[in-house]
A and B are shown apart, each in its own frame.
Chain A
Amino acid sequence: EPEVTQTPSHQVTQMGQEVILRCVPISNHLYFYWYRQILGQKVEFLVSFYNNEISEKSEIFDDQFSVERPDGSNFTLKIRSTKLEDSAMYFCASSEWGGSWSNEQYFGPGTRLTVT
């Protein structure tokens, strides 16, 4: 069964450093998403991406975050200058459809980011 993959599974970085989290969505899916979950809290939507553009973003997704689909398979989340409060599990998801159509999202296993 096709699945969303994420690398690395765990990333440790120092405050102020840039990190790139990588995701490979399911191959025929058109919509891509990033979510984060701070330890012990609920999962929060960050951004959705379609047709090489951000389609929606939350208030969390500020100027330090950016997303990119650098090639036909990868989808990345970049955090420019990490802060301690960016420590969280980051989930990538993809769906075949999106927008006003109902869609089932498939989640990757997550990348645990630890900022020291």
Chain B
Amino acid sequence: GIQVEQSPPDLILQEGANSTLRCNFSDSVNNLQWFHQNPWGQLINLFYIPSGTKQNGRLSATTVATERYSLLYISSSQTTDSGVYFCAVSNDMRFGAGTRLTVKP
């Protein structure tokens, strides 16, 4: 099956810093989503982005489907951005292992 790798596994930032999270996948996909799992365990939809670029406030994402990767950008990070960020691909939503982000005040 399709393999999904996320990097880095852990990331610690000071509030206000920018970051880039990466998701690599091993085969072509017709669906890619980014999620933020908050401390209560809820999966919050960030982006549905099988290709192209999208922006939502301080967050943006880019998927280059031909090169099989997606990037999630977080600018001016806040403590509330802390949590685990997952990408998931394909119709049966293969999830990566996630990037655990900690933003320190």
| CB atoms of A58 and B92 under 8 A apart | yes
**Interface set, chain B 1-55, CB cutoff 8 A to A:** 30-31, 33, 35, 41-43, 45, 48, 50
Q: Report the Cα distance A93→B92, complex, angstroms.
A: 11
Stretch at the interface among A17-25, A40-48, A64-72, A74-82: A40-48
B69 within 8 A of A: no
Interface of B: prevailing SS: loop
Residues of B within 8 Å of A93, CB to CB, are 93
Q: In the assembled complex, how far is the CB of residue A44 from the closest CB belonging to chain B, in whole angstroms?
A: 7
Q: Name the residue in B50, B88, B96 with the highest tally of chain A Cβ atoms < 10 Å from its Cβ.
A: B88
Please pick, from A33, A58, A98, A105, the residue contacting B33 in the complex, using a CB distance under 8 A.
A105
| CB atoms of A45 and B31 under 8 A apart | no
- Total B residues in contact with A, Cβ cutoff 8 Å: 20
Q: Report the Cα distance A48→B33, complex, angstroms.
A: 17
Chain A interfacial positions (CB closer than 8 Å to B): 33, 35, 37, 42-45, 48, 56, 58, 89, 91, 93, 98-107, 109-110, 112
Chain B interfacial positions (CB closer than 8 Å to A): 30-31, 33, 35, 41-43, 45, 48, 50, 86, 88, 91-98
Show 30 residue pairs from A and B whose CB-CB distance is below 8 angstroms, ordered by the A residue.
A33-B93, A35-B93, A37-B41, A42-B97, A43-B43, A43-B86, A43-B93, A43-B95, A45-B93, A45-B95, A56-B91, A56-B92, A58-B92, A93-B93, A99-B91, A101-B30, A102-B30, A102-B31, A102-B50, A103-B31, A104-B31, A104-B45, A104-B48, A105-B31, A105-B33, A105-B93, A107-B42, A107-B43, A110-B42, A110-B43
